[in-house]
C-alpha cells in the first residue's frame, strides 16, 4: 500500500476524531472558563465546584450532538469501506 494512501487515511481519521470530539471538549472548556471567572469574582476557591457543572454540560452536549456524531462516523466508515477495493489495486 503506497505511503500516500496511508497518510490520507490517517489524516482523515484524525480529522473525523477531532470533529466528533469538538462539541464536548468546547463545552467543557467554556463551562470551565465561566466557573473559573465566577470563582475569581466571588473568591470561592473550592476545587470540586467545577466538576459537577462540567460533567452535566458535557453530558448535555453529548446528548444533543450524538445523532450528528453517529452520522458523521457512519459517513466516514462508509467512505472508508467503499474505498477498500481501490486501495488493494
Q: Are 58 and 27 in contact (CB under 8 A)?
A: yes
Q: By C-alpha distance, which of 83, 63, 64, 85 is closest to 13?
A: 83
Question: 4 in a domain, yes or no?
Answer: no
Q: How many CB atoms lie within 10 A of CB 47?
A: 7
pTM of the model: 0.80
**Conformational region of residue 43, where left means phi above 0, alpha means psi within -120 to 50, and beta covers everything else:** left
Residue 45, CA atoms < 13 Å, CB-side half-sphere: 1
What's the pLDDT band for 37 if we cut at 50, 70, 90?
Answer: very high
Question: 48 in a domain, yes or no?
Answer: yes
Domain of residue 47, residue span: 10-84
Task: Give how many domains the chain has, as a whole number.
Answer: 1
**Would the pLDDT of 5 be above 90?**
no
Amino acid at each position: 500500500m503506497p505511503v500516500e494512501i496511508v497518510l490520507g487515511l490517517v489524516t482523515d481519521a484524525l480529522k473525523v476524531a477531532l470533529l466528533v470530539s469538538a462539541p464536548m471538549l468546547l463545552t467543557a472548556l467554556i463551562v470551565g472558563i465561566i466557573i473559573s471567572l465566577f470563582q475569581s469574582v466571588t473568591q470561592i476557591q473550592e476545587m470540586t465546584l467545577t466538576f459537577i457543572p462540567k460533567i452535566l454540560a458535557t453530558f448535555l452536549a453529548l446528548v444533543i450532538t450524538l445523532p450528528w456524531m453517529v452520522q458523521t462516523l457512519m459517513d466516514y466508515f462508509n467512505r472508508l469501506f467503499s474505498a477498500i477495493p481501490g486501495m488493494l489495486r
